[in-house]
Amino acid sequence: MIIHLPKNITHTYAHELSDVIGALCIDQPDQFVLVMNHSVKQLPHQLQDVAVNYWIFDTDMQLSSRQYNPHTHRIPIGDTYIGGDQQNQIMIAGPCAVESREQIEQSCQMLVQQGIRVLRAGCYKPRTSPYTFRGLGEEGLKLLAEMREKYGLLIATEMRDATHADKVIQYADIVQIGAKAMYDHGLLAAAGQSGKPVILKRGFGSTLQELVNCADFIMSCGNNQVILCERGIRSFETNTRFTLDLCGVAWLKQHCNLPIILDPSHAMGHAYGIADLARACTAMGIDGLLIETHPDPANAQSDAPQQLNHQQFKEMYQSLQPLAKAIKKTLI
């Protein structure tokens, strides 16, 4: 249940009421928002005379539900937006990981030439094996900050765990929570308190309900700037890395009020299929794409098979333009 209380009551009284009924209290500019478990089906009697409005839910997808807010949240991305009434599809692209100054500079130059606004690159990599490259850490974050200053790109990068969450939040323009960390409540809370846009990737073994519950966790900490990312789920198929759940995306678009982007790079796992998947995703009218591209994929230190070289990326990006235009979207 979500309950709205008027802003003309005191902060102390609002929080006293939330404590009495066992609710979470979120301070918003124009009201106090109390959130209770979805099992509550009647307005608590303590709030009968003070509640402005309330909503009853069947699941704990509450703050992120179109039943509560039917309009897609408008998320600022630099000087523009995705979601809301903006018909924008954002392209977020770059290498899997920051490896060197030369590599990341070449990536920035290519993105700027294409008119792309957001660079993605990891500095703390959640690798499956402890014997593989796990990122440059804060050195990589400093390189990204230099590139932002030099090229004017926004930076999207991942928090792997709570040991460096504060550093990533300090340097990043867009904070990413990866699939392997989707359930990490420490990271969800840090993202919720960051005041920055957050890309929340769906865990590859997670249901849609679990994904939106994690989004609600971030929003319950006061940050509504959450972008959901479908990046493929594990199925019985072994010829592709994962299975991109476009049916799930259609469900999210119908029921969830958050922007949705897709990551075909991790779903496919092979460079040859990424352009086709990107076109299919664009045609669905989603809010953006997350694509891995590297100046020399064969020598990439992580995710080499799935990273497009720069020429492949340019060709794919140009092929998306007429598709976006056909569905009255603007690729940015």
DSSP 245-312: -HHHHHHHHHHB-S-EEE-HHHHH-SGGGHHHHHHHHHHTT-SEEEEEB-SSGGG-SS-GGGPBPHHH
Those residues with Cβ within 8 angstroms of residue 10's Cβ, 6 or more apart along the chain or in another chain: none
pTM for this predicted structure: 0.96
Q: Same domain, yes or no, for 131 and 8?
A: no
SS3 helix, strand, coil % of the chain, rounded to 5? 35, 20, 40
Q: Same domain, yes or no, for 51 and 163?
A: no
CATH classification at residue 42: 3.30.70
Contact assessment for residue 83 and residue 259, using Cβ atoms and an 8 Å cutoff = yes
Q: Same domain, yes or no, for 198 and 324?
A: yes
pLDDT in tens, 287-329: 999 999 999 999 999 988 999 999 999 999 999 999 999 999 9
Contact assessment for residue 286 and residue 249, using Cβ atoms and an 8 Å cutoff = yes
Residue 236 has pLDDT above 90, yes or no: yes
| 47-51: average pLDDT | 95
- Answer yes or no: is 64 within a domain: no
The closest alpha carbon to 220, from 8, 66, 61, 29, belongs to 61
Q: Same domain, yes or no, for 181 and 45?
A: no
pLDDT in tens, 193-215: 999 999 999 999 999 999 999 99
Contact assessment for residue 180 and residue 126, using Cβ atoms and an 8 Å cutoff = yes
What domain range is 40 assigned to? 2-55
- Answer yes or no: is 61 within a domain: no
- Answer yes or no: is 230 within a domain: yes
Q: Same domain, yes or no, for 25 and 84?
A: no
Whole-number average pLDDT of the chain: 95
| 261-273: average pLDDT | 96
pLDDT value of residue 131: 80
CATH classification at residue 230: 3.20.20.70
Q: What is the CB-side half-sphere exposure of residue 157 using CA atoms within 13 A?
A: 32
Q: Same domain, yes or no, for 9 and 155?
A: no
Contact assessment for residue 78 and residue 173, using Cβ atoms and an 8 Å cutoff = yes
| 48-53: average pLDDT | 95
Contact assessment for residue 172 and residue 155, using Cβ atoms and an 8 Å cutoff = yes
Q: Same domain, yes or no, for 114 and 251?
A: yes
pLDDT in tens, 123-180: 998 877 888 888 899 999 999 999 999 999 999 999 999 899 999 999 999 999 999 9
Helix (H) or strand (E) holding 313: helix 310-326
pLDDT value of residue 101: 96
Tokens of 53: 């409005």
